[in-house]
């Protein structure tokens, strides 16, 4: 069902635990938390059977559909809600529009694809002004211009909360979409850029600290890097849920394990500053912070030179193994656990 899960909800609203309750007919009902949260729910609700024309359905960054002799079609969608995913007192409408578009484009990037068309559904609140609506669209259009995307359809309505759903249609050379399931045992695991920057910005906002919050408010999808990595990587995902959760998606879909060297994970400078001031471990910002929109990919060691020649800044942080999933930090190995879940 859900192609990616942006760990953007933490911090904006407390995910208040609901209590087990009786249904209308008096029967016991089950909380989403009780079955294991968001990903268990997605598995429960969605069919993974083969569908004609669908090359890859639920379970990756994008759905992959048959298109023509040259290209496959990539489709991804994200639903973003005021209070859950963004706050109007922390972000301008332009920043919200921009980030919403970038987070979707990032899913196309994670498959090595070219984003093309956007469909934007918006629920405006009663007191949202025309000027704010203009700004929201200006933010989306800024992102669209950056990535060569055109808004070609959508829906508008009125609601109690500002609500945005964006769907992006992209394309990728036939049969070459970088899937989560493509990792091979022995592959090196690498990540572009640096991590923890979005969580650091969120922590700064929440705690009233000074710091570089720009990457949190105005992230950039790595479409160009995705295109450059496509010929050489075996699997790829965007880091939207935190590194830990996202590498586990690759492991799950590839039926393999991983060993991550925590000390090798490239941390954003501000993440270290903010974490130090708050007494946090900056590694946690990278592992479970989410929304960094860097690319996490695996590749055969023999391709290292070719990847270096692309000019994409990347860091090797581990390797794909048979089954066990370990995170080694300062020579201490601990079981690797998943990232953020919207239902816990």
Kindly identify the residues of this chain, within the stretch 57-76, that bind a copy of itself according to CB under 8 A: 57-58, 62-63, 65, 67-68, 75-76
Contacts of 15 (CB under 8 A, 6+ apart): 9, 342, 343, 344
Identify the burial level of 269 via C-beta atoms within 10 angstroms of its C-beta, where 0-12 means exposed, 13-18 middle and 19 or more buried: middle
> Considering beta carbons, is residue 32 or 316 the nearer one to a copy of itself?
32
**Site for a copy of itself contains 47 (CB under 8 A):** yes
Residues contacting a copy of itself: total by CB under 8 A: 83
Asked whether 298 and 187 are in contact (CB, 8 A), the reply is yes
d(CA 106, CA 4): 10
**Site for a copy of itself contains 153 (CB under 8 A):** yes
Restricted to residues 17-46, the positions that interact with a copy of itself (CB under 8 A) are 17-18, 21, 23, 27, 29-32, 34-35, 38, 41-42, 44-46
**Site for a copy of itself contains 123 (CB under 8 A):** yes
Integer CA distances (angstroms), 168 to 44, 76, 136, in order: 25, 5, 17
Integer CA distances (angstroms), 181 to 61, 160, 247, 262, in order: 11, 40, 11, 23
Asked whether 117 and 161 are in contact (CB, 8 A), the reply is no
**Site for a copy of itself contains 308 (CB under 8 A):** no
> Considering beta carbons, is residue 29 or 308 the nearer one to a copy of itself?
29
**Site for a copy of itself contains 134 (CB under 8 A):** yes
Asked whether 336 and 327 are in contact (CB, 8 A), the reply is yes
Q: Which residues pair with 325 in a beta bridge?
A: 258
**Site for a copy of itself contains 133 (CB under 8 A):** yes
Restricted to residues 92-121, the positions that interact with a copy of itself (CB under 8 A) are 116-117, 119-121
CB of 49 to a copy of itself, least distance (A): 9
State which of residues 86, 96, 128, 285 lies at the interface with a copy of itself (CB under 8 A). Answer: 128
d(CA 76, CA 117): 11
State which of residues 72, 85, 147, 180 lies at the interface with a copy of itself (CB under 8 A). Answer: 85
State which of residues 51, 306, 333, 334 lies at the interface with a copy of itself (CB under 8 A). Answer: 51
d(CA 60, CA 254): 11
Restricted to residues 173-192, the positions that interact with a copy of itself (CB under 8 A) are none
> Considering beta carbons, is residue 161 or 276 the nearer one to a copy of itself?
161
> Considering beta carbons, is residue 34 or 210 the nearer one to a copy of itself?
34
CB of 275 to a copy of itself, least distance (A): 26
**Site for a copy of itself contains 321 (CB under 8 A):** no
State which of residues 3, 216, 222, 325 lies at the interface with a copy of itself (CB under 8 A). Answer: 3
d(CA 101, CA 142): 9
How would you label 18-51 residue by residue, b for 16+ Cβ within 10 Å and e otherwise?
Answer: eeeeeeeeeeeeeebbeeebbbebeeeeeeeeee
> Considering beta carbons, is residue 127 or 305 the nearer one to a copy of itself?
127
**Site for a copy of itself contains 249 (CB under 8 A):** no
CB of 122 to a copy of itself, least distance (A): 7
The binding track of 186-225 with respect to a copy of itself, each residue x by CB under 8 A or -, is ----------------------------------------
**Site for a copy of itself contains 2 (CB under 8 A):** yes
Integer CA distances (angstroms), 40 to 46, 88, 235, 312, in order: 10, 31, 23, 35
State which of residues 86, 98, 114, 163 lies at the interface with a copy of itself (CB under 8 A). Answer: 163
Backbone phi, psi, residue 305, to 5°: -60, -45
What is the SS3 assignment for 26? coil
């Amino acid at each position: 069902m859900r192609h990616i899960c942006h760990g953007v909800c933490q911090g904006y609203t407390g995910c208040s635990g609901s209590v087990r309750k009786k249904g209308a007919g008096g029967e016991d009902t089950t909380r989403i938390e009780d079955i294991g949260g968001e990903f268990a729910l997605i598995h429960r609700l969605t069919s993974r059977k083969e569908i004609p024309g669908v090359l890859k359905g639920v379970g990756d960054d994008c759905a992959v559909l048959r298109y023509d002799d040259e290209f496959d079609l990539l489709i991804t969608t994200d639903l973003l809600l005021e209070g859950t995913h963004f706050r109007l007192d922390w972000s301008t409408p332009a920043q919200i529009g921009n980030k919403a578009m970038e987070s979707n484009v990032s899913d196309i990037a994670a498959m090595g694809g070219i984003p093309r068309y956007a469909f934007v559904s918006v629920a405006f609140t009663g007191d949202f002004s025309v000027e704010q609506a203009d700004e929201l669209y200006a933010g989306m259009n800024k992102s669209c211009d950056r990535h060569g995307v055109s808004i070609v359809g959508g829906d508008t309505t009125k609601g109690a909360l500002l609500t945005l759903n964006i769907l992006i249609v992209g394309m990728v050379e036939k049969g070459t979409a970088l899937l989560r399931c493509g990792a091979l045992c022995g592959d090196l695991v690498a990540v572009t850029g640096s991590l923890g920057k979005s969580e650091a910005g969120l922590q700064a906002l929440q705690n009233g600290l000074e710091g570089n919050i720009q990457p949190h408010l105005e992230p950039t999808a790595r479409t160009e890097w995705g295109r450059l990595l496509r010929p050489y990587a075996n699997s790829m995902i965007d880091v939207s849920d935190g590194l830990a959760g996202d590498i586990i998606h690759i492991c799950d879909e590839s039926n393999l394990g991983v060993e991550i060297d925590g000390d090798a994970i490239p941390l954003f400078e501000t993440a270290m500053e903010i974490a130090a001031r708050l007494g946090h471990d900056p590694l946690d910002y990278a592992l479970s912070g989410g929304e960094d929109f860097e690319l996490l990919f695996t590749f055969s060691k023999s391709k290292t030179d070719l990847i270096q020649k692309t000019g994409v800044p990347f860091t090797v942080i581990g390797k794909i193994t048979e089954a066990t999933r370990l995170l080694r930090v300062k020579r201490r190995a601990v079981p690797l656990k998943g990232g953020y879940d919207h239902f816990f």
